[in-house]
Structure 1
Amino acid sequence: MPKPRWFPLLIAVLLAALAAPPAAARDDAPISDPIPEDPVQSRLGLVLEEFAQFPKTEPTPAPTDPRLMRHARINHLGQLPDGRMYVPDLNGRIYLLDPKEPTPRVYLDVGAAFAPDFFSGRGLGTGSGFVAFHPDFARNGKLYTVHTEWGAALQTKTPDWNQDNPHNHGVITEWTAEDPSADVFQGTRREVMRFGFGTQIHGFQQISFNPYARPGSPEYGKLYIAAGDGGRGVTGNDPQDMSRPYGKILRIDPMGRDSANGEYGIPADNPFAGRPGTLGEIYAVGMRDPHRFSWDPGKGHRILLGHIGEHAIEAIYDVRAGDNLGWSRREGAFVWKQEDRCNLYPLPADDAQYGYNYPVAAYDHDPPAGHPCTSDSGNAVAGGYVYRGKDVPGLRGKYVFGDIVNGRILATDNAEMRRGKPRAPIHELMVYADGKRTTMQELVGSSRVDLRFGEDLRGELYVLAKATGTIWKVVGTRTFADCKTGGVKVSHADEAADWAPVTPAKWQFPGREVVLAEAGTERPGPRRPFEYAVLTKGPRLGSVRIDGEVRLDTPPSVSNRDVILVFGHQSDTRFYYVHLSQDNRIYPHNGIFVVNDADRLRIDDQWNAFKSKGAPPAVTDSGWHRVRVTHCADTGEIAVYVDGARDPLMTAVDTTFGSGRVGFGSFDNIGRLRDLRVRGTAAES
């Protein structure tokens, strides 16, 4: 019987269906963890020295949101060519200070100038958020501010652009000082532009002039304006609408007059100037909250933008004229869907056709299980600067930025932040103040730091915190756990006589290795490793460095397997140990612990109880792994390095034990140690 004509077509369709991946394997499924890698713990720490303290200020009206109840809402630090520094406070004031005697003096009270319409008590970015001095300020006396208004202004003043049902107005004002050298402003002002924003979030952010533009160049005197999406990007199209300024970086000539309102100019070299139906002011598009940007002092002077995300992604972008960052179709390098605010999705196969520019560095929120997907997860990137100063050589060539909320200070290698390439690795820097390692949260005494950064004309960096209204200068770097551990050296410790095991019958010493051949069992007393052997060769040590190679003989198919390295051992119920595991999601695993006549206590910096997550797993296979543990007795600093990494896998600071012996073992697994080398300072008897 002849086959019908449609039979070959049917066979082709069936074969194609069989070749297609199953539904569960398709590339349009939600992504549960967009950026699996966490910032790497750097061995480097910033040494901070308090620079200035600002007076307490109050928002207008009185805030109901505790996030606005700060000591002073200082937002930036910059420096004029004459040496004076300037700092805006969102609550209305602009301060000047002498860097040699940095006592803040009120230069201009923007809040008072626009009262009673001035508004800073609702929304995290309202108030007098930024100030930009014209590069010819010393001659023309011109400076520019952004502020917000509400109340009568919503009925009596007409914005140049409006979102539906505006909640407030964002205003850019030009001020002209009669005497640019005066320490208190006197002069005139005029309005440059006014936007109606639909909500109290994502209004005007930074305004700045390119500090590296030379007189006579097309870039000189052009004002860059970061305009947020007004909180409407989650439901509307403003960030992608080329006829509207929301969710964009704008570039204007504040001295020109060819704009629609006649108060500023549109540079002819803007990427969309003269294009029908498109705002000529636009420099780049597709942004939610373009919070802070800076120019790299190096070759090319590229713009690096810290962009605050919606669902999960905090990102750094290399922004060029005409770029589209993708919001609200993309969040970072992922698809964001307005109909599903709880998930991100993979990029489509034809993504290149859209021409979006994706981050050169990024981290995600990693909220704990059960966290509401549309609520604040306590993450927001604080854009920073590429350091090319002279006083802190350890930072040279690094882009230093951070997280506004938790105050983490982060860094990437500027050379690794390349468009179109994999995201640059992010490192978390430590913080030292008053000679001790600390955190920004500890330094300000609050879980919400409200971190910002500043820079002087020499390229030196400053750290700001609204929580206390304090500015610190970065005066140097310090390497964590960098103590001297010389004096005593112990090696070739692979004989049974060199060790004192808890249960000798469970151990083997075949030569060149120390082998825990039989798993230990739990013993009476505090919770602690079940089976370990203490090195008896050599004296007790204070500061110590342990180098060796370890292997887990329990197969990788077994969950929760581990080996441990002991140090500071004084007795069976008093010692430190490093737990090396393939599991970093439970409290007892993959961390640094102290046993002090009580159940083991976790002390490493990497453990996040809120997210139930620690350092990346140290051992995930059955191979040999190099491990180094350094313990500085004087400072209590402890660092653990694995497989020759430049930065530590785990860190801790604890001074419970200042000396003791080292050892090796496990809880209930088997493993081995080889090539052990111990170097330390003999402890006083």
Structure 2
Amino acid sequence: MKQICHFLLILTLIVFINTSFGQQVYLNLFATGFSDPVDIANAGDSRLFIVEQAGKIKIIDEGGNVNPVPFLDITSIVIDGGERGLLGLAFHPDYINNGYFYINYTSQSTGGDTQISRFKVSSGNPDIAEPGSELHILTIAQPFGNHNGGDLDFGPDGYLYIGMGDGGSGGDPGNRAQNPLEMLGKMLRIDIDNGSPYSIPATNPFVGDPTTLDEIWALGLRNPWRFSFDSQTGDMWIADVGQNAWEEIDFQSATSSGGENYGWRCYEGSHPFNTSGCPPASAFVFPIYEYSQSGSPGGCSVTGGVVYRGSQYPALDGHYFLSDYCGGWIMTIYYNGISWVTINHGTWSGEGFSTFGEDVTGEVYVAGLFTGKIWKIEEIINSVIDKDNNIVSSIFPNPFKESTTIKFEYDATNTYKLNIYDVYGKLVFTVDNITQGEISLNRDDMVNGIYFFEIRTNRVISGKGKLIVR
């Protein structure tokens, strides 16, 4: 598997109240060859499931290998293109026993309406779904072809949450996001384990209120393309795509009883958009983070992510990852006990990041819509030698002018490879088939500066460090 991507040496930091520095990250290529990947999910095992917009779901094994046969192919019933297509995937919390998974797509048979459906895995092959097992759960009419939302996810309460856009066009001409009798522009919450095909949770905030649909959990959303739950705390993070000026991240605590109104179309982010007939600003819940499309970091469409809860990079614990489809940057947000803090980890041009996802261990991945690549997010080392879980024992001399030697704990039963990158993540050179625990390096064409290296043992990073050439 080709390794690499980008490193940044200096973090650009944006903060709300105070300044704080955090970890840098880079992208390691995990798998490639996908066509318009828009969602990443896991089924509680080592596999990753990649949703392609045209209507296929493919499987990547833990080694980064893509199964040649799709898990599901429903291209014949999906309208795709623009903001339409197969857009979301969620596995039932008891998938290991019932084999149920749920998808969100725009249907050919209804001319592009949103279809929430349940499918079942094959009883004889865990890598293949039964295409004829579809059960329609919910159909929602779409007046336009854009702002379909697309995401769905099970909350820690076991209920299915569905993020719906405002129905499209521009500026929400039907004022649907603020209409409590419309499902568009809402976060919905349904019970798919009871009822036919679903029931309403008794704890939904508007149950029994004839002026509001029972399915509504929250309202005032424009196009919540991606939302997720923190796997540790249960908090909900919603990335709501803006109109022409502001992109926003909304936060809902796990202690919430629902009913929040996030403001659209009255407000775009925290900024007035069309306040005609709207209640006072105090009636709305404004984002914890917003950025101007024309400012810094800039962009056109926020791509929401997940909160890191993996074990490989403890310094990233609690960081929420996000990006922008046009901006190409990757940022994290975390709470430092006083305020929300953001860190800009750099820009990767030409990817068109469309979605983030987690594997079963909580490690985070991001998909490039333009390139069809799935990248694993990893932490860049910030010291000469990281002593924890590192086979590197010494680098001498370092800094160096002509040559240096890297020594590491060698095991003849393993295969070793050395990769060296510059601070922009460009692979400078590789040494393959290392047969001893000592690597002598000449500077050759390496200009003065800082470089990062990794020693890979059977595809796993076993050693890493920093080189300084003077």
| Alignment TM-score, normalising by the size of structure 2 | 0.73
Structure-2 change in CA distance of 1:135 and 1:181 (3 Å): farther
Q: What's 2:327 paired with?
A: 406
Q: 1:53 maps to which residue? A: 32
The one-character-per-residue Cα deviations of 1:547-579 (angstroms, maximum 9, x if unpaired) are xxxxxxxxxxxxxxxxxxxxxxxxxxxxxxxxx
Is the 2:353–2:366 Cα contact (8 Å) retained in structure 1?
no
By how many angstroms is 1:328 displaced? Answer: 0.6
CA distance, structure 2, for counterparts of residue 327 and residue 153 of structure 1: 27
Q: Indicate which of 295, 314, 336 corresponds to 2:247.
A: 314
Structure 1 counterpart of 2:96:
138
Contact 1:170 1:204 in 2 (8 A): no
Structure 2 counterpart of 1:306, one-letter code = A
Q: For 1:78-477, list aligned pairs within 5 A.
A: 78-104=41-67, 105-112=69-76, 114=77, 118-121=78-81, 123=82, 125-150=83-108, 153-154=110-111, 168-179=112-123, 181-186=125-130, 187-210=132-155, 213=156, 219-220=157-158, 222-231=159-168, 233-257=171-195, 262-299=196-233, 301-319=234-252, 320=256, 321-337=258-274, 351-352=281-282, 354=283, 356-366=284-294, 378-415=299-336, 424-430=340-346, 439-441=347-349, 446=350, 449-477=352-380
Residue type of the partner of 2:79?
A: F
Is contact 1:307–1:381 with CA below 8 Å preserved after alignment? yes
Instruction: Tell me the secondary structure at the aligned position of residue 225 of structure 2.
Output: strand
Distance in 2, Cα, partners of 1:481 & 1:201:
49
Q: Closer, same or farther in 2 for the Cα pair 1:414/1:110, shift >3 Å?
A: farther
On the 8 A contact 1:242/1:278 being kept in 2, the answer is: yes
* Identical positions, percent: 28
CA distance in structure 2 between the aligned counterparts of 1:384 and 1:682, rounded to whole angstroms: 37
Residues 137 and 180 in structure 1, CA contact (< 8 A), matched pair in contact too: no
Q: Could you give the per-residue CA deviations for residues 623-658 of structure 1, whole angstroms, max 9, x where no partner exists? A: xxxxxxxxxxx9578xxxxxxxxxxxxxxxxx9973
Q: Distance in 2 between matches of 1:44 and 1:326?
A: 33
Amino acid at match of 1:247: G
* Distance of 1:636 and 1:90 partners within structure 2: 34
Letter aligned with residue 191 of structure 2: D
Compared CA separation, residues 84 and 337, structure 1 to 2 (3 A): same
RMSD: 3.6
Residues 446, 469 of structure 2: 8 Å contact kept: no
Secondary structure of the residue aligned to 1:325 is coil
SS of 1:238's equivalent in the other structure is: coil
Residues 635, 175 of structure 1: alpha-carbon distance in 2 compared, 3 angstrom cutoff: closer
Q: What SS does the corresponding residue of 1:384 show, helix, strand or coil?
A: coil
List per-residue Cα deviations over 1:322-374 (Å, max 9, x = no partner): 110011111111211278xxxxxxx99x632x2x1111122111269xxxxxx
Letter in 1 for 2:160: L
Separation (CA, whole Å) in 2 of partners of 1:180 and 1:290: 36
Distance 1:415 1:78, change over 3 A: farther
* Kept after mapping to 2: 8 A contact 1:129/1:206: yes
Larger relative contact order (C-alpha < 8 A, sep ≥ 6)?
Answer: 2
Evaluate the alpha carbon distance shift between residue 317 and residue 480 of structure 1 in structure 2; reply closer, same or farther with a 3 A threshold: farther
Aligned equivalents of 1:36, 1:176: Cα separation in 2: 45
Q: Distance in 1 between matches of 2:245 and 2:381?
A: 32
The CA deviation at 1:40 is 8.7
Quick one: distance in 2 between partners of 1:199 and 1:480? 52
Q: 1:265 to 1:365 in 2, by over 3 A?
A: same
Secondary structure, in 3 states, of the residue corresponding to 1:426? strand
- In structure 2, C-alpha distance between the alignment counterparts of 1:153 and 1:452, rounded to whole Å: 26
- Label 1:49 to 1:296 Cα distance change in 2 as closer, same or farther (>3 A): same
Asked if the contact 1:86–1:94 (Cα under 8 Å) also holds between the matched residues in 2, the reply is yes
Partner Cα separation in structure 2 for residue 173 and residue 180 of structure 1: 22
Deviation at residue 256 of structure 1 after TM alignment? 2.7
Shift of the 405–276 alpha-carbon distance from structure 1 to 2, 3 Å rule, reads same
- Matched residue pairs, number? 384
TM-score of the pair, normalised by structure 1: 0.51
Q: Which one-letter code corresponds to 1:78 in the other structure?
A: A
CA contact (8 A) 1:47 1:478 kept: no
AA aligned to 2:32 is Q
Residue 391 and residue 207 in structure 1: after superposition, are their counterparts in 2 closer, same or farther (change >3 A)? same
1:313 is matched by which residue type in structure 2?
Answer: W
**Counterpart secondary structure, 2:37:** coil
Cα deviation, residue 138, structure 1: 2.2
Residues 600-615 of structure 1 correspond to what in structure 2 (within 5 A)? none
SS at match of 2:39: coil
Q: Distance in 1 between matches of 2:113 and 2:98?
A: 28
Q: Distance in 2 between matches of 1:481 and 1:351?
A: 51
1:388: how far off?
2.0
1:640-680 deviation line (CA, Å, top 9, x unaligned): xxxxxxxxxxxxxxx99739xxxxxxxxxxxxxxxxxxxxx
Q: Is the 8 A contact 2:248 2:290 kept in 1?
A: yes
| Structure 1 residues 289 and 482: alpha-carbon distance in aligned structure 2, compared to 1, 3 A threshold | farther
Structure 1 contact 45–480 (Cα < 8 Å) conserved:
no
Contact 2:167 2:176 in 1 (8 A): no
Gapped regions of structure 2 (runs ≥ 5): 1-13, 387-394, 403-420, 425-444, 450-467
| Cα offset, 1:92, TM superposition | 0.7
SS at match of 1:394: helix
Q: Which moved more, 1:305-314 or 1:39-48?
A: 39-48
Amino acid at match of 2:188: L
Residues 224/180 of structure 1: CA separation in 2 closer, same or farther (3 Å cut): farther
Q: Which letter does structure 1 place at the counterpart of 2:365?
A: Y
1:42/1:429 contact within 8 Å kept:
no
Conserved? CA contact 2:89–2:101, under 8 Å:
yes
- Per-residue CA shift, 1:504-526, capped at 9, x if unaligned? xxxxxxxxxxxxxxxxxxxxxxx
Name the CA distance, whole Å, in 1 between partners of 2:29 and 2:469: 37
